[in-house]
Structure 1
């Protein structure tokens, strides 16, 4: 396979990188057993990688210690609903029915929405788009050029793919606090080709349900806000459905988890204690080639200083637990 790397929008890949060398936000790892390669996906743009437009890059590693990249796998094209220079957040790649699907949150700050009466901040188009490729290395092409998968009237982000017990695809995503004040996690059924929603959203929970969440204060906004970020779903060895997600406590980003009481996507959901604090979050879980569960997240929150951190994890049957920070890997 050849890495997609447009000559007009190169990201200048290098070898011999450590995670501490890689500027990354909202990281997502695919462990590809066929090639023996870990793919680390993260959003990109002019400030991070010198690209002319926003998109997604990947880094490759055989051992989680030595990396090479970045390699461009997707850039926001002209002539679509999103603006190529307004951001590409929270990319993740899933294998589904013989292809690879990229979910990435795109933006168009110039396409205004009615402002929310709850928050005196500008509302604009923001939502997760879906793109497809025959390769983990891209290029990925948008399935729907005229709008995000969830209705464009909703400011949504961080969509993830979930396949339910009947094999039906869903997008689970966060509804922005900018519209809600108390951010939520929602789920919407997808069409068979994953291009867009195939029904109405289902409410799962809101950020304030976490007892530890002390809320945030934002300049120009009266009162507290509650943030939902980075939802990811996993089934434990005990059959429990667990969701990773992130919010804020005492002004710092927090990686936490929730658990479905019923074991199904629609819940109800109960909030568990945070996994990692210290301004850390938007994590996801993957298994190493040796079978060990690993959590990757970014720390600290602000770009361009954020870097990937790795934690060895335990599947405790009804939740996940941190075993140890892998400082030998992330520096």
Structure 2
């Protein structure tokens, strides 16, 4: 797969025709939407191409793909471009995405990109990953407190090295960010481990996917990924996150007991989605409707974007 900066021919597709993992929807102005996600054909290997996006006015018919990000010369990562999410802040658009380096010279991490337009092109904003330089990290999501403090919530990866095997129990962290979103501030705060949820089960890779031998995974690891935070109208702070359950990839809900990012966090007993799909987010549309977005199934290359209306009340997210 080459690194062409030329986008593919733009066409109109129905949502169910778009192959994508880790979908993220942004409503730029009322009634106009952009869809981002993991869009490379070879999501596990490489070399990576970048991120594509799609635009829509009805959430069903989409124009694309549009080249949202293509790596500039000298960019630090060349494989596994995953899970872009975009936030509009102070007149610009900031993308948080996961990248990896095939040489493993530095661990997988979350880098911040920026653009003046929602569809890009996005350019590097942070100097490499804002996540810790000594740990593999993935799936960063932005949370802004009422006092404007900016946080990155992310997963610590379970992979290790030949000298340091990967952890067996994946972890979710919060890291304070500088106001300009270029760097992390202070030490990450552990929010919870995968084993804190009763529904999690050991990792199983999708059918047809073999983990690289140099990942050095612990035996039967539990993992965390795909965090997304939302606050209900009643003020409850919730986190969607994914792991493996009884029926494969699954998505659960954690709830902050005191309504703050640092928690403590308690896990809901049952997953929100239990069968071979996950990495979700909630689109709170200007129409007043709330939608859960995620990819299903988890098997490559069959992944498709799922969008379904949900009802959110207090600590409850219920699929309609």
Normalising by structure 1, report the TM-score: 0.85
In 1, Cα distance between the equivalents of 2:305 and 2:66?
17
1:251 Cα deviation from its structure 2 partner? 5.2
Match of 2:72 in 1: 77
Q: Does 1:193 align with 2:175?
A: no
2:115 is the alignment partner of 1:133: yes
- Report if aligned partners of 2:7, 2:65 keep a CA contact under 8 Å in 1: no
User: 1:13 & 1:321 partners in 2: Cα distance?
Assistant: 35
Q: Could you give the per-residue CA deviations for residues 91-111 of structure 1, whole angstroms, max 9, x where no partner exists?
A: 000011221100110110203
Aligned length: 300
Tell me the alpha carbon deviations over residues 202-241 of structure 1, each in whole angstroms, 9 at most, x when there is no partner.
Answer: 0000101001112235788664211101000001111110
TM alignment of 1:13-52, pairs within 5 A: 13-15=10-12, 17-34=13-30, 36-45=31-40, 47=42
Question: Separation in 2 of the partners of 1:216 and 1:43?
Answer: 20
Pair 13,150 (structure 1): closer, same or farther in 2 beyond 3 Å: same
* Partner residue of 1:286 out of 262, 283, 288: 283
| Cα distance in 2 for residues equivalent to 1:76 and 1:7 | 10
**Cα RMSD between the aligned structures?**
2.1
- Check the 8 A contact 1:216/1:251 in 2, yes or no: no
Distance 1:211 1:151, change over 3 A: same
Match status 1:169 vs 2:165? no
CA distance in 2, matches of 1:191, 1:222: 34
Determine the C-alpha separation between the residues in 2 that align with 1:302 and 1:294.
Answer: 23
1:103 aligns with 96
User: CA–CA distance in 2 between the matches of 1:229 and 1:311?
Assistant: 21
Q: Does the 8 Å contact 1:20/1:308 carry over to 2?
A: yes
Per-residue deviation, 1:304:
1.7
Q: Does 1:262 align with 2:243?
A: no
User: How far apart in 1 are the matches of 2:17 and 2:68?
Assistant: 20
User: Cα–Cα, structure 1 residues 321 and 251, in superposed 2: closer, same or farther, change >3 Å?
Assistant: closer
Q: Secondary structure at the match of 1:198?
A: strand
Structure 1 Cα separation of the partners of residues 81 and 21 of structure 2: 10
Cα pair distance change 1:54/1:260, threshold 3 Å? same
Shift of 1:180: 2.0
Does the residue aligned with 1:27 lie in a helix, a strand or coil? strand
Which residue number in structure 1 is paired with residue 50 of structure 2? 55
1:95-152 CA distance string (max 9 Å, x none): 112211001101102034xxxxxxxxxxx5201100111110111110134x201122
Q: Secondary structure at the match of 1:20?
A: helix
Report the Cα distance in structure 2 between the residues aligned to 1:111 and 1:258, rounded to whole angstroms: 32
Do the aligned partners of 1:54 and 1:87 also contact (CA within 8 Å) in 2? no
Unaligned runs of 5+ in 1: 1-5, 113-123, 324-331
Aligned twin of 1:92: 85
Cα distance between partner residues in 1 of 2:222 and 2:6:
37
Partner of residue 132, structure 2: 151
1:303 CA displacement = 2.4
Distance 1:81 1:125 in 2: 11
5+ residue gaps, structure 2, are 160-165, 206-210
Say if 2:295 is the partner of 1:298: yes
* 1:228 counterpart = 2:224: yes
- Residue 12 (structure 1) shift: 2.2
Q: Report the Cα distance in structure 2 between the residues aligned to 1:8 and 1:176, rounded to whole angstroms.
A: 30
Q: CA deviation at 1:276?
A: 1.2
Partner residue of 1:181 out of 168, 173, 191: 168
Q: Which residue of 1 aligns with 2:163?
A: none
Specify the alignment match of 2:8 in structure 1: 11
